[in-house]
Each structure stands twice: as structure tokens, then as C-alpha cells.
Structure 1
């Protein structure tokens, strides 16, 4: 009689069956028991599937062994808790294809019971499209950039030291002509240079330490990936990929940010050789000017934004129908994502602010006293709504449970049709019938103009929208009547004008992945992706007529659009990939 083994949960004397992996990948109704294991393919196979090695010449050098010999080798990779559910501390056994999440038994029953496709990891692991090569390519890219940062910082520190020594040499040459004054000058300059060097070296050392930590994390990730693909099972490989995607994305984001902000420190000294030296101490008259400054590194300047064409996959779609408490058919003139992926929308016709969850199910509503023009998310629990009549900007609080309350009102003097955030204390608004098409609004209601030579043209309601690109300090303005998108560089006061057959009556605009520009091409019923230099990167045909507004989730993983055609108004959500 067979006995139970309490240590493993298996019955002694009984051999655990392993099923053929090619059969599982074909989704066969019945799968054969694996009798062979291919060391080259790294998978268990039944006799029928393993016989392929004898019929195809390029497979004949693969080594086949009995499945029983290979069973002890599988699962030898130490997952170090990666195969445990973070919430329930149970083994991960399932994968929800609807929400792209790993699940334990409790997750599958409690949290994903309404999902349509929750499958065993063993069945989906073999057909995973997110392989180690993808993670490794991204990690290698991040590691290369992190190495560039560290090398640049080391070079900058050496240059800083050389600059300091060079100044001393120049001062000593000058001291031969005016000994006493330059003795005092040396003391004066050395003190300031030393103070600047000390402060700067501390900052550079801290930055270097942070990026060396990134390198350590990258190396650990690469070692884990290599190890699991050499020793781990397909299930373990799949779990590691899913678990590490977020870590890799965070590393990618952090190192990219470090690259964009990489600085070279310089110290210079300029002496006026026409100087007439008065009999005054150096504290009263300094024969030269010490300049302590930071400048953007050439390396950072050479790292240009990545212009990748995006791929949009429809996720959820709802029809916007008139409900019992609605006066008219809904018209959403503004949408934006909260950081937790809930969607905020403003209904111009029914004077409402609404909140939708990740599946576009309405979870919150707030009645306004005016017709809103646009909305922008300010923080985790704050949104700003602009109104053209009366002239004001309302700040509303949206709780985690989607309760909405009015927090404060900011008075303005200009009519605005669109709004986005410039920084923590300022907004950018697209104006209505104003001499300046785009203005800056402070959190206290002060309004100012950009230092840009805008064309002398005003825009009536629904003929233009704007957005702002923080990373490059650029304003984007759509011109519906001219079928044009304008990209203004604030720093250089230069403009890129984008006209293309794919852009007809552009209106809604948002900042997309890699800080590219996404525009609603109204008459083409499409979303057009544009680089900051004006290059058309991609165009996606929607199944809605006259797309009007667009917004993108903060991590650039999802976007939402809505339209304005009568009786066919929709709200749709898409997943962004590349």
C-alpha cells in the first residue's frame, strides 16, 4: 500500500506524471505523458512530438534523454519567493490574461472570478511573448546609460580638479606682476573654489553612488534572468519575467532621468588685462571674475528622445448614452487619468464631473453649476476644471473611493478651452478668442504669456487645443481650420509646423510615450503620433467618428479617447505597446 510523504505532499512509490509541453502549447483537449526530454529545446515531449527530431535534419544533433532522468533537473532554480503571491503568500499557479496578472488560488477565486480567461501558468508559460531577451535588451540599454553616467561623473570630477589647479597656475603668473595683490587674490579665489568644489563633489559623489547602485541592481536582474533560463522551469521563467518587468521599467525610467539631467561642472577665471590696478586690497577690488557654474553635459545632449512608433490595443469601450438625470446626450470636453488609472471626465452638456474605474465602469459623479471646458489631474486626489463662463478654475478633491468635493476656486480673467499642467504651481491654458493662443496660469490665478512670437491669430471655441512637454519646455498647439500642429520651443523661440495628409482638423492633443505628441485627427477618425521634430511616427485608425479628446496615463501604458459625433458618442481605453 502506498504511503503519503508529509514533506512533499506526494505519495511514495508513485511517479509524478509530466505532460508533453508541445501538446500543452497546442491547447490539445488531451495531452500525452512526456517520455523524453530534449536538452536543446529544454522541454518534455511525448514520443510523437520527440520523433520530429528524427524527421528534420536540423534537429538531429539535439540530445534526447528519458523524461525520468531530466525530472530531477527541473525546478532547481531558487525562486527566492518570486513564486509567492504578495497578498496571500500562496504559490502562484494561475495567470489572468484579461488583466495581465499572476494569481494564486485565492486571487483567482476572489479577485478574478469575473474575468473571462484565467488559465494555469503551465499552459500559458510556453507561449509567453515577453521573453528574457526583451528584459535583457532593456537592462543592457539601462546598464550602458548608467555606465555613461558614472564615467561622465568621474571625468567631471577630474576636470573639476584640473580646472582648480589651472586657475592657481594662472594666478601665480599674474602674481609675478603684482605680488601682493595676487597673493591676496589667490587666498580669495582658493577659498571660493574650495567651497564650490566641496559642495559640488558631495553632489557628484551622491549621484555616482546612486548610479552605481543602479548598476548593481541591473547586474542582479541579469544574473537572475540568466540563471532561471539555464536552470528554471518554464513556469519559473514566466513568473520571473512577470515579477521583474516593473523593476526593469523603474530602472529604465530612473537611469533615463539621470541621463537627461547629467551635468558637467566647470570653474573658470577671466582676467581683465586692461585693468588699471589701484592701491586697494583685494577685498575692495578684485582684478578678475570667478565663475562657478553647471552646464548640461554633451553626453546628456547627445542622448536624444527615443522616437518609437506605438501600437494601440483596444481594452475597453463604452457608449455614452443619456441617462435618467441627464438633460442632454453626454459630451465629454475633457478627460484625464488619475495616477491609479481611474479616469476623470467632464460632461459639458450635463454639467458633470465623472470618475470611471480601470474597466470604464462609472464609480463617481459630481454635479457642477456650469458647463466645464476641460479637466487635468493635479495630484493623486486633486483635479482642476476650467470654465469659460463664469471665468474660473475649480480645484476638486477625488478620494480613493471616488467621492468628489469642491476644494477651492481660482478666479481668472481669460476664457480657456483646454488646460494641462506646466509644473506643481502653474497650468498651461489654450485660450478662446484671445490675442495670445496659449497662456500660463499660476495656482493663485495670476495669468502671464509665454515668451513666444505666436502668429497674430485668435482661436474661437473648439478650433484649437494645447499641451505642454515638461522635459523639453515645449508648447504644442493644434489648429483645426489649418489642419496643422505647431510645436513651440520656449527656450529658443523656434517653431516646428506639422502638416500632413494624415492630419485633418486636429483638435485634442496629449503628451504620449517617450514624450512624443498624440493628436486627434478629427476628419480622419484617427490618432496620429508625432515626434518633437515633426516626424509622423504612427497613425491609428479608431472605430469612432470625430475623436475629440485624448489623455495618457502617467506611466504611458494606457490612453483614452472620446468623440463628439451625435448619437454615437463613445469613451474608449487602449493599451500602449511598441
Structure 2
């Protein structure tokens, strides 16, 4: 036969049961269009005899080409989605395994960092302690040597008096008493002077409360947190935190007036809160240190011999005061009964205007007429500089003050007549320059809640809030002219502010809210 005349012969294909009725196990021969269901001969007679459109599959099959195409497209979409799920879950498993390993690596890295920190701390503290010991031992040795000389002089004089009284004539005894009286009086004064300065010097090192671990097993006190996070997409970026706006509400206010023993109107150039909430103020014009209670009533007073400039609380019952034109820092004790006494003076080589705590043993101080506008001073008077490039500029008295942000190691410096606030980052040796219409002749500056910066703006009679990034957040109009000094309580819930307006001097307490 001619091959072209041959007709295609159907090829038998095993459908593996797909062409069998699930109920009667017969070949599927009919299709019910009414119920969209495949039927065998029994189904067609028994279950679909009332249906109107039951046709043989052979006749209906020719019209199903488009259906096959749709099924194929849909199956391809299903397969693609399933492959995506497989790929994503596989990646998630790999990420999970990597993260679990990274937990151990991070803890190990942190342990090494902490160990290095403690090694550095040990060297630094030991160096400071050794320096303090050397300086103190020199003083104690000199004191001991002087006292030993006094003992020898007294012993020798006693021997002389005994010999003359035993062997000398009455005339000789009379002459000796008159000759030695002046010498004995001088020796007595020297010994009394040494007795008045008897001190016991001790050195200790205590960790902050946050570093005092309780005697618990590690399982009960983990210095960290294991975080398990579920996220829908890795592309979601965290939202940057927003600096809270500080709101100030007046609690109480008093007018500052010249009293009977004042030589002029009071000018409070320094304010600071003691830890128990009492307010310490220094009056530059009348050379006083005053203590106020929470109702702004004077409960303690101490007359100084110089013009004070700034004050800072050192401990529960101790404050440090800088002066306008003297090279010293005075330490005053303020007991619970509000009695103030001078117990120590620390000599320095630089004149300081502002002062604030840096850590437990050091202050950050703003200088006067120095090319180093900000320095570090220890409790014993040792002075050193920050490792940062400050501008080569001198600030006369009354033109610049500073403060320190301990948590981020930053120094804030105001420049009054440039209407500018500088924020210096010590770690990166960079600075942010803040200039704004709301900042006019900045004077006092403090660190408020959330480590925000609060600046007295003399020209706008307000307190301006600035973020650490240099963004001016808010401004609070004060009920006073020319705000000068400001301080914040230890719990950052109250601030005190005073001004320099002649004839309208005030002292106020303001509550901090958000």
C-alpha cells in the first residue's frame, strides 16, 4: 500500500485508573454538562437520567482544547509558586542555622571586648591609684618628717630644762625660761597646726550598681536577651526613634531681691540639685552659697570669701564650686541639717567657669581665656585635655559654658555672641554646629531626659530643646527675662532656672513632662 494512504491507528494508553468511575469501576463514557460531571453507563442511567445534557465523551472531547490550555497555564503558575516557597523556606533554614551560630560568635566577641575593657580599666585605675598614692605619700612623708623634728626639738628642750634646773643657779634657770619661751610658743603653734590637719587617706574602687551582679547562676541572670523574630519580609526597615518633646510646667517661682546684708542684687551664676532634691545656688554678686528646699525657701547659707561662678553636686552631702578669678575649686560639705562647711580646697592652673560631672572621679569644665575651651579635672585637681580638635579660640568670662553627655561621650559647648551650640563627639572627633532663630545668646546648658540638650536662650527668653543630632525640637517661653542658669534634678523630673534681669530677678522650679 501507499504509505500516504495509511490512516493513523489509535494507540492504547494506560490512564492508570483515571478513566474509571470511582463508584462503579466502569469506563467513563459520558459527560453531564448540567452537573459538570463524568459518568459511566450506570451513572448516566441511574443518577443523571433527569439531566438534559448528557453526551458521549467522544463527541464532547473535541471541544476541550481551550480547557487543556487553561489547565496547563494554571499548573505552571502553581508549580512556580511552589518552587518559590521551596526556595524561600530553604533560604530561611540556612539563615536560621547561620543566626544560631552567630549567637555564640556574638557572645564570644562580647566576652573578649568586656575582658579587654576590664584589662584596660585595671591598668587605668591602677595608674590613677598609684599616682594618687605617690602624691599623698609625699605629703604624708613630709608631715611625718615635720612631726618627727618637732618631737626631737621638744625632747632636746626638755633635756636642757632638766639639766639647768638640776645643775644651774636660780639666775640661770630664770634666763633659760625667758630665752626658751618664744621657741616653745612657736613649736606649740606648729604642732597644733599639724594636729588640725590629721587625715586618714583611703582608696577604694566600687562598681556602679548596674555592674554589681547578684549572686545568682547565669541561667537566672543573663546580661542580654535572646530575641526570636518573625518577619514577613527582609526588606522592611526599622522606624527611626523620634525624640520626645519636653514640656515644662511651672511649679513655683520667687522674686530674688537684695536683703539687708547684700551689697547688691543677687546674681545666681550657678545652680545644682543635691540628690535628695535640695537646690544649691551660688550668688556671684554677694559671694554666698545658699540652700533652698522644694518650696524655694532658704534653709542654709554660707558666706564665701570670693565671687563664685558655678556649683556642682559631688555626692549626697558635698558640692564643688568654681570661682570667677581664682585658680581653685572649693569643696563644701552640706549636711542633712543644711549646715555648710568648707573642708577642702583644690588648687588648679586654669580658671574655670562651668563645671559638671564626667564620672565618679572627674569633672568636665569650661575654661576662661584659654585656647582649650573644655578640659577634664579630677577630684584631686589633676588637669588634662580631651583628645579632640577644639577650635583655637579663647572665650572670655561669660561668653561660653559647657556640659557633658555621659552615655554617648559628647561635649556640648555654647558660644554666646555667635548664637551657636556645638555638639562634639569625642569618639569620632566630629562636631555638629547648631544655629537657629530660636537660639539667641545661649547661656546655661544642661542634659535633660532622654539625653536631650536644654539651653537657656537669653535673647528669646526661653529654654530651647535640641537633640544630640543637632535638631531643634521645641522652645519653651519662660516667665522671666534673660534666663541665665539652669539645672536638672537627678531623676530628670524637675529643672530650676534663674535669670540676670536687673530689677526682675527670679528663681523658678519647672516640672518636666512629655
Name the counterpart of 1:337. Answer: 273
The structural deviation recorded for 1:389 is: 2.5
Name the counterpart of 2:220. Answer: 209
Name the counterpart of 1:517. Answer: 453
1:481 match: secondary structure = helix
Name the counterpart of 1:185. Answer: none
Matched, 1:486 2:497: no
Matched, 1:415 2:351: yes
Measure the CA separation in 1 of the matches of 2:487 and 2:310: 11
Name the counterpart of 1:430. Answer: 366
Name the counterpart of 2:56. Answer: none
The structural deviation recorded for 1:303 is: 11
Name the counterpart of 2:299. Answer: 363
The alignment of Structure 1 onto Structure 2 pairs a total of residues equal to 305
Matched, 1:405 2:341: yes
- Note closer, same or farther for the CA distance 1:153–1:416 as it changes in structure 2 (3 Å cut): farther
Name the counterpart of 1:463. Answer: 399
The structural deviation recorded for 1:209 is: 2.9
Matched, 1:558 2:472: no
Q: CA RMSD in A?
A: 2.9
Matched, 1:474 2:436: no
Matched, 1:573 2:509: yes
- Runs of 5+ unmatched residues, structure 2: 1-98, 112-212, 228-237
2:381 match: secondary structure = coil
Measure the CA separation in 1 of the matches of 2:241 and 2:273: 23
2:338 match: secondary structure = coil
1:514 match: secondary structure = helix
Question: Larger C-alpha radius of gyration, 1 or 2?
Answer: 2
Alignment map for 1:94-493 (pairs within 5 Å):
156-157=103-104, 160=107, 209-210=220-221, 307-493=243-429
Measure the CA separation in 1 of the matches of 2:243 and 2:110: 37
TM-score (norm 2): 0.56
Listed one character per residue, the Cα deviations across residues 71-116 of structure 1 (whole Å, up to 9, x for unaligned) are xxxxxxxxxxxxxxxxxxxxxxxxxxxxxxxxxxxxxxxxxxxxxx
- Note closer, same or farther for the CA distance 1:153–1:315 as it changes in structure 2 (3 Å cut): farther
- Runs of 5+ unmatched residues, structure 1: 1-151, 165-201, 212-257, 265-301
Measure the CA separation in 2 of the matches of 1:481 and 1:263: 51
- Note closer, same or farther for the CA distance 1:528–1:204 as it changes in structure 2 (3 Å cut): farther
The structural deviation recorded for 1:207 is: 6.9
The structural deviation recorded for 1:401 is: 1.5
Listed one character per residue, the Cα deviations across residues 459-487 of structure 1 (whole Å, up to 9, x for unaligned) are 00110110001000000000001100000
Asked if the contact 1:305/1:515 (under 8 Å) is kept, the reply is no
Measure the CA separation in 1 of the matches of 2:455 and 2:109: 49
TM-score (norm 1): 0.50
Listed one character per residue, the Cα deviations across residues 471-520 of structure 1 (whole Å, up to 9, x for unaligned) are 00000000001100000001110000000000000010001011100000
Measure the CA separation in 2 of the matches of 1:375 and 1:327: 21
The structural deviation recorded for 1:204 is: 13
Asked if the contact 1:153/1:208 (under 8 Å) is kept, the reply is no
Asked if the contact 1:510/1:518 (under 8 Å) is kept, the reply is yes
The structural deviation recorded for 1:572 is: 0.3
- Note closer, same or farther for the CA distance 1:421–1:160 as it changes in structure 2 (3 Å cut): closer
